[in-house]
Amino acid sequence: MTTVVELPAGLRSALKRPAGPLYTETAALLADAGDPLVTVGDVVTSHVLAAGTHPAVALADDRTERTAVDDQVAERIVTAGFDHETTARNPPATLTADLLTALRDALDRDDTTLLAVDGEEDLAALPAVVATPTGGSVVYGQPGEGMVMVPVTADTQARMHDLLARMDGDPERLFSILTR
């Protein structure tokens, strides 16, 4: 596992603002979501699955707000019947080559993928927006508020690209992994 970039303290506040519309109703979110749909986080993934939709790629780490998810959330994800399952190691506040490669590979597949993250998947929404084809959507949780859906457009990809480029480490390597 090689860390590619780390979140600098000065960038934390920029990531606290939702990067797209905030939803509290899963049905409304799914009505507005594009294809492919990528979910980042256990609770968001569980809500989408409970509504009868399988995300193309789901990233989960068995945690929510730094505590273990409840059994119902974990069970829903484990038994969802993803076509493919893979794992990646990724410590908090980082993006590793392992995670970035697994994300890129999952997006290249024609079937559904559960990407189980050993560590933390919170920052994965940023490279997911960059790597997801235009027209898709990336959904992540906003603690205590709901779900954020980021429509993948040239504008949202540029905004996420800018945030990733400001991280400590090797952003050029990050972008080369995502675009292979």
Give per-10-residue mean pLDDT for the chain (180 aa).
91 90 97 98 95 97 72 88 96 96 96 95 96 97 94 97 97 93
pLDDT value of position 144: 87
pLDDT value of position 16: 86
The residue range of the domain holding 137 is 3-178
pLDDT value of position 65: 66
Give 13's contacts (C-beta < 8 A, 6+ positions apart): none
**Total domain count, the chain:** 1
Given a contact cutoff of 8 angstroms between Cβ atoms, the answer to whether 34 and 133 are in contact is: no
pLDDT value of position 68: 66
pLDDT value of position 124: 97
pLDDT value of position 62: 74
